[in-house]
Amino acid sequence: MSRETTVNLLLALLLLGAPLVAAGMGEPFYVTLATRVVVLALAAVGLNLALGSGGLLSFGHAAFFGLGGYVAGILATHAFNGEPLFAGIPATTSMPLIWIAAVAVAGLIALPIGAISLRTSGVYFIMITLAFAQMIYYFAISWPAYGGEDGLSMSVRNAFPGVNTAKPLPYFLICYAALMAALLLFRVVEGSRFGSALQAARQNGIRLAAVGIAPFNIRLVAFAASAMITGFAGALYADLNRFVGPSMLSWHMSGELIVLIILGGKGRLFGPVAGAMIFVVFEYVLGGITERWQFFLGLILLGIVLFARGGLLGLLSGKPRHV
């Protein structure tokens, strides 16, 4: 077992064990905090596929996170009011159905956004993904039917068959299982032919084209898949907070997801997990001491970018190897 695998396993166990202990000690707040880590990590796993594997610095992934959240919020609101969604399609409070809808919407919106954005690269790609996300953000703000600037509150958490989702621990376990499934998928895809082509597109797009694989197609599929995972996380996040608002769509959120990945280790399987753990712990611990906790997070980020490009996982487990 490589050192990185050991570190990954320990992180996974820590993330599972801590809320179990907290629940046992009757501290549901910490379970919810851990759920926040898990959901943010899942969103960042999605971005990591585009950014880490594919080298696509999307500054607009909040769009997909927020879309996933709004799908959950809108479906739940309609279902609660007993109204059909539109054209007689019934709304639902079933999480599995909501997830499918969130993933589908994120993917469908990501395809045209990706198809246009991927014609550019570098700074232009960053700016155009940001622009698309801001368009969706302002659309959400100006659409009063679903709360506009105030967002949408959900009076109860959506339902999962056989699980009492209102309790923090069962909901944590659902999110944890989703994260582990996404990590497994990420791992498998990265080692596949598609993953090879995607990583080659990041390292050297010309080389990839020279052997006959068009980098654009590979990147577009990766971008959409990445958006779908982040959209899934958005639906879970809405249910976690029983609220969805435009802040989920804002560029702060996009930046936060990037920061998570840089903190944890770009392109590494558990980078998003490590990043989300640091981020949420900082937000909670330092946030309790000073309102200016983000200043200190900034310092840490600066240190990592200057001295530890591999992020926390790089520090713990050394250089990655491609065999």
Binding site for another protein (CB under 8 A): 188-189, 191-197, 199-200, 203-204, 206-215, 218, 221, 322-323
φ/ψ (deg, to 5) at 147: 95, -15
DSSP state of 49: I
**Taking Cα atoms as reference points, which of 285, 65, 266 lies closest to residue 274?**
266
Find the shortest distance in angstroms from Cβ 53 to another protein. Answer: 11
Q: Which is nearer to another protein, 112 or 191 (CB)?
A: 191
**Taking Cα atoms as reference points, which of 51, 22, 52, 50 lies closest to residue 35?**
22
Q: Which is nearer to another protein, 164 or 204 (CB)?
A: 204
Beta strands in the chain (DSSP E): 152-153, 243-244
**Termini Cα distance of the chain:** 15
Q: Which is nearer to another protein, 35 or 317 (CB)?
A: 317
Q: Which is nearer to another protein, 136 or 208 (CB)?
A: 208
Amino acid sitting at position 67: L
Find the shortest distance in angstroms from Cβ 206 to another protein. Answer: 6
Find the shortest distance in angstroms from Cβ 199 to another protein. Answer: 7
Which residues lie across from 163 on neighbouring strands?
160
Inter-helix orientation angle 3-24/271-289, to 10°: 50
| Residues 125 and 56: beta-carbon distance below 8 Å | yes
Amino acid sitting at position 202: R
Find the shortest distance in angstroms from Cβ 2 to another protein. Answer: 14
Find the shortest distance in angstroms from Cβ 270 to another protein. Answer: 19
Residues 172 and 178: their CA atoms lie apart, in Å, by 10
Find the shortest distance in angstroms from Cβ 38 to another protein. Answer: 24
Q: Which is nearer to another protein, 60 or 215 (CB)?
A: 215
Residues 190 and 107: their CA atoms lie apart, in Å, by 19
Q: Which is nearer to another protein, 87 or 211 (CB)?
A: 211
